[in-house]
């Protein structure tokens, strides 16, 4: 035994060294489980121990209270920022328009219609507006921003190039509108718009009355309008449209006075096409009839000749007598043949009997065999006797031309000062015709210049281009630079490319002209009108 202990003494010592702590810990645990009074003793010792007061915690540093920002404040700040930016941009545009004669027509819209409304919104947002007020004013600001973009687009177009076309067209529109505006001012008629402003683009000839509730009415002219003399009288038609919709209460009163409806539905069968329905049909056409009557009264035979050339269709004469529809309603445009008939009836009221008969005979000779008007009904064209429609048309035109207009303070159309193309005006047009036919610049009212040009081209169609050029030269555009050719010493032509470059650098005016021409030839994207 001793020998074994001696031999394995080291191993036994290691085992005791390892196992002793483990056994001691296990024995201690078993003792605690078997002695239930151990815990109360420990608790008693804790109870007998003197209770020491815990140190009071230091109060946290006081942080100033931050008031929660109301959402109205954020919206109000955004609206004011938008207002400030729009006001600055509109003010800059107004300054440019006031300093550029080509942009003078935009001044009322920028100053009164745009900046005037911005000032109203600025007062509304200066206090403590409610959330609904802020939202409403923000919506108006977005609309005014769109209006400013449209006005800036007009300004860019009118500022490009050196052509006087738009200025000439403005002058023509002003001359057609002037007697009506003077009547409105003298009689206190309330007009919504009173300032046509021509814009060119890829659209049909038209005008936008009450454009964005401004004083300007964009007169939209198609590309190439200026190259045809026969198109110019149509400006009087578009001006009449603006007057029709701008005079407060005119449209409603005219429908009530004539007893004609605003809209006419397509008939369901031929049994519905009686005399009352046919007369009511002229209610759907009333605005176009008004514009044609005003155009004819304003320019006389020249307007009817322009209408004849625009509507003639010898290849399909029946189409000129077709009554068109717009979905379930009748279209607002009368058939071309009926429009020309009514225009010649107005010429008779002006005392131009020979011209009226001649123009109608030429129309009928270009469209032989048309004795009916055609109404689409049930998928087929139904013929209507032209005598019936002509009788109704004659009575409508007679009401327009012969009776006093309560809407115009009791004036007759033919008695509005300086408006109607009567015998004195026809004599003036014939005087101007002779000079224009010789290609000379003439002096006179813009309306009579253009009327004389049309009559001169009717008599001598081969001189159309030279007559149109002379007529446009005769229109003095407001602010348009029409410089006489100055005699200067002939310049020596540069002998090399380098010499040409040096010579061009000495002529900044020509460089500027080249830049402007490049801008003018850039394709113009017209605004979308709302």
Rounded Cα distance between 338 and 103, Å, is 40
pLDDT in tens, 368-427: 999 999 999 878 899 999 999 999 999 999 999 999 999 999 999 999 999 999 999 999
pLDDT in tens, 373-383: 999 987 889 99
pLDDT band at 62 (very low <50, low <70, confident <90, very high): low
The mean pLDDT of 167-190, rounded to a whole number, is: 93
pLDDT at 194: 73
Q: Residues of the chain with pLDDT > 90: what percent? A: 60
Count CB-CB contacts under 10 A for residue 102.
Answer: 21
pLDDT at 242: 94
* Residues whose CB falls within 8 Å of the CB of residue 202, separated by 6 or more in sequence, listed in order: 222, 223, 526
Q: Are 449 and 423 spatial neighbours (Cβ–Cβ below 8 Å)? A: no
pLDDT at 214: 87
Count CB-CB contacts under 10 A for residue 270.
Answer: 12
Of 85-94, 100-109, 205-214, the range with the highest mean pLDDT is: 85-94
pLDDT in tens, 312-369: 999 999 999 999 988 889 999 999 999 999 999 999 999 999 999 999 999 999 999 9
- Pick 62 or 500 by higher pLDDT: 62
pLDDT in tens, 86-101: 999 999 999 999 999 8
The mean pLDDT of 92-113, rounded to a whole number, is: 91
CA nearest neighbour of 268 among 259, 276, 260, 277: 277
Average pLDDT, the chain: 83
Least confident of 29-38, 122-131, 358-367: 29-38
Q: Are 74 and 95 spatial neighbours (Cβ–Cβ below 8 Å)? A: no
pLDDT at 219: 93
């Amino acid at each position: 035994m001793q020998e074994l202990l001696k031999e394995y003494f080291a191993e036994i010592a290691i085992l005791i060294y390892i196992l002793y702590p483990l056994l001691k810990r296990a024995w201690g645990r078993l003792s605690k489980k078997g002695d239930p009074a151990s815990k109360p003793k420990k608790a008693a010792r804790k109870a007998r121990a003197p209770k020491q007061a815990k140190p009071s915690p230091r109060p946290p540093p006081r942080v100033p209270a931050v008031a929660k920002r109301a959402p109205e404040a954020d919206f109000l700040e955004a609206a004011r920022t938008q207002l400030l930016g729009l006001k600055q941009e509109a003010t800059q545009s107004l300054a440019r328009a006031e300093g550029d004669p080509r942009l003078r027509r935009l001044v009322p819209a920028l100053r009164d219609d745009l900046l005037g409304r911005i000032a109203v919104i600025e007062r509304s947002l200066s206090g403590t507006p409610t959330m609904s007020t802020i939202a409403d004013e923000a919506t108006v600001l977005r609309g005014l921003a769109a209006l400013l973009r449209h006005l800036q687009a007009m300004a860019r177009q009118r500022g490009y190039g050196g052509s006087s076309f738009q200025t000439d067209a403005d002058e023509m529109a002003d001359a057609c509108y002037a007697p009506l505006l003077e009547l409105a001012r003298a009689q206190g008629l309330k007009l919504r718009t009173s300032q046509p402003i021509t814009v060119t683009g890829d659209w049909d000839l038209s005008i936008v009355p009450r454009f964005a509730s401004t004083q300007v009415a964009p007169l939209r002219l198609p590309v190439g309008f200026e190259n045809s003399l026969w198109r110019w009288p149509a400006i009087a038609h578009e001006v009449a449209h603006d007057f029709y919709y701008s005079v407060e209460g005119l449209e409603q009163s005219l429908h009530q006075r004539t007893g004609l409806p605003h809209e006419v539905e397509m008939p369901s069968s031929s049994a519905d096409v009686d005399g009352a329905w046919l007369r009511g049909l002229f209610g759907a056409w009333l605005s176009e009839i008004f514009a044609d009557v005003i155009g004819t009264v304003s320019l006389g035979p020249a307007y009817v000749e322009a209408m004849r050339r625009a509507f003639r269709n010898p290849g399909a004469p029946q189409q000129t007598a077709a009554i068109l529809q717009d979905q379930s309603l009748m279209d607002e445009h009368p058939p071309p043949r009926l429009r020309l008939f009514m225009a010649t009836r107005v010429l008779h009221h002006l005392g131009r009997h020979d011209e009226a008969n001649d123009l109608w005979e030429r129309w009928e000779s270009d469209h032989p065999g048309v004795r009916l008007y055609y109404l689409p009904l049930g998928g087929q064209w139904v013929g209507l006797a032209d005598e019936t429609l002509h009788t109704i048309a004659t009575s409508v035109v007679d009401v327009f031309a012969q009776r006093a207009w309560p809407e115009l303070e009791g004036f007759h159309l033919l008695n509005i000062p300086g408006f109607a193309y009567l015998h004195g005006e026809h004599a003036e047009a014939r005087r101007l015709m002779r000079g224009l036919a010789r290609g000379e610049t003439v002096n006179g009212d813009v309306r009579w210049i253009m009327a004389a040009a049309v009559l001169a081209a009717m008599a001598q169609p081969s001189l159309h281009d030279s007559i149109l050029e002379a007529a446009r030269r005769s229109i003095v555009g407001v602010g348009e630079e029409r410089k006489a050719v100055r005699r200067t010493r002939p310049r020596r032509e540069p002998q090399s490319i380098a010499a040409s470059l040096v010579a061009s650098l000495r002529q900044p005016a020509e460089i500027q002209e080249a830049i402007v021409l490049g801008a003018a030839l850039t394709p113009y994207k017209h605004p979308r009108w709302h």
